[in-house]
Chains A and B, each alone.
Chain A
């Protein structure tokens, strides 16, 4: 995030007895804010973090590159197998998940995303803080990066039109979608952002990596760049290119 675009930071704080536990309430305290920054002047990837309350089991999200999607309950309680049954996830009509059961999703998240399987906290009845538990999860992962060390945004699903999540055989009625998605930037908005932060809109030192044209297929070298490629690489400090270039890959792709 360019520092020039980092404006309007605020927290809304609940009532001091928001938990509704007897007479328990906050009476004093501080909130400290820390920023981690780096000296770079290029236009970096921009992202949007937010939520959506669809109130249905057939959920449709708009276009974009989804880095992460998790499903939670609006009341914050755990999700169980009875809530979910099976899940289908389709990106522009192509399956990302097909008839995935609750327990299969949990197992695969623990296998490919969890970084510490040890139950690190047991005091006070707190469940393990790393692995998701088959008995109930605070969130159900839908889209995630794996922890192989080769994760890259170009491997994440990009919806040209929509991303659909269908839940069947489950009782969930108060789903909330929590997402982290990349912000799409076309040539003109890129120029605007670059002008705002004082960075050059283009440079001559960067060759863009090849990237997927669709959620599941690699780009054909020389083919016109898809919206996804422009989304992913328009921000980088390289020459703006209209066609994919074969053989150039970012570290980790």
Chain B
């Protein structure tokens, strides 16, 4: 049986910078199967500006977890494409930013695995 715990919600730093999440609230003597990040961003642009959804993860320069994980958002997204065998879209990631409006909404997810769903009963 797995448990999902909404850990924290932080504002995205608008000038770039570091966002830290407090993992000490995760109960001790449990296993962390995965960490997930949901990005819900808005912004402004010129009418002619466009951006394809597969570029959204460039917003994350590095995902770090101690000395176990250090990877950029784009690289992590590609790795997860291979691990999952497809891209988890949620109906959001495919929504590219098109021409027209002067504002945009940008939603995407990053997924950091510790349990490998491809390995039955091996390393939960």
Are the C-beta atoms of B123 and A45 separated by less than 8 Å? yes
- List chain B residues, Cβ under 8 A from A25: 43-45
Given A76-B58, A123-B94: A138 touches B78 (CB 8 Å cut-off):
yes
Contact with A along B32-61 (1 / 0, CB 8 A): 111111111111111011111111001111
Contact with B along A156-198 (1 / 0, CB 8 A): 0000000000000000000010101001000000000000011
Are the C-beta atoms of A121 and B89 separated by less than 8 Å? yes
Are the C-beta atoms of A12 and B64 separated by less than 8 Å? yes
Are the C-beta atoms of B118 and A11 separated by less than 8 Å? no
* Alpha-carbon distance between A198 and B62 when the two chains are bound, in angstroms: 31
Given A33-B36, A124-B52: A6 touches B23 (CB 8 Å cut-off):
yes
A5 to chain B, nearest CB (A): 7
Given A27-B14, A38-B30: A12 touches B61 (CB 8 Å cut-off):
yes
Partner of B20, one of A10, A24, A126: A10
Q: Is A68 an interface residue (CB 8 A)?
A: yes
Partner of A129, one of B58, B67, B75, B94: B94
Interface of B is mostly: mixed
Are the C-beta atoms of B122 and A153 separated by less than 8 Å? yes
Partner of B42, one of A2, A28, A76, A150: A28
B31 to chain A, nearest CB (A): 5
Partner of B28, one of A4, A138, A150, A176: A4
Are the C-beta atoms of A34 and B62 separated by less than 8 Å? no
* Alpha-carbon distance between A202 and B118 when the two chains are bound, in angstroms: 26
Interface residues on A, range: 35 or more
Given A25-B44, A32-B37, A126-B54: A16 touches B14 (CB 8 Å cut-off):
yes
A171 to chain B, nearest CB (A): 20
Partner of A51, one of B32, B65, B75: B75
B67 to chain A, nearest CB (A): 8
Least CB separation from A109: chain B residue? B82
Q: Is A247 an interface residue (CB 8 A)?
A: no
Partner of A14, one of B58, B63, B78: B58
Least CB separation from A199: chain B residue? B29
Are the C-beta atoms of B31 and A1 separated by less than 8 Å? yes
Contact with B along A21-51 (1 / 0, CB 8 A): 1111111111111111111110011111111
Given A13-B61, A45-B123: A27 touches B26 (CB 8 Å cut-off):
no
Please name 20 pairs of A and B residues whose Cβ atoms are closer than 8 Å in the assembled complex, sorted by A: A1-B32, A3-B23, A4-B28, A6-B26, A22-B46, A23-B45, A26-B14, A32-B6, A32-B38, A34-B37, A37-B26, A38-B3, A44-B114, A48-B69, A68-B82, A70-B82, A129-B94, A139-B79, A250-B120, A251-B120
Give me 14 other A-B pairs in contact (C-beta within 8 A), A9-B20, A18-B58, A36-B36 excluded. Answer: A4-B29, A7-B23, A13-B60, A14-B60, A26-B14, A26-B59, A36-B2, A38-B124, A49-B68, A123-B94, A138-B54, A138-B78, A153-B122, A252-B121
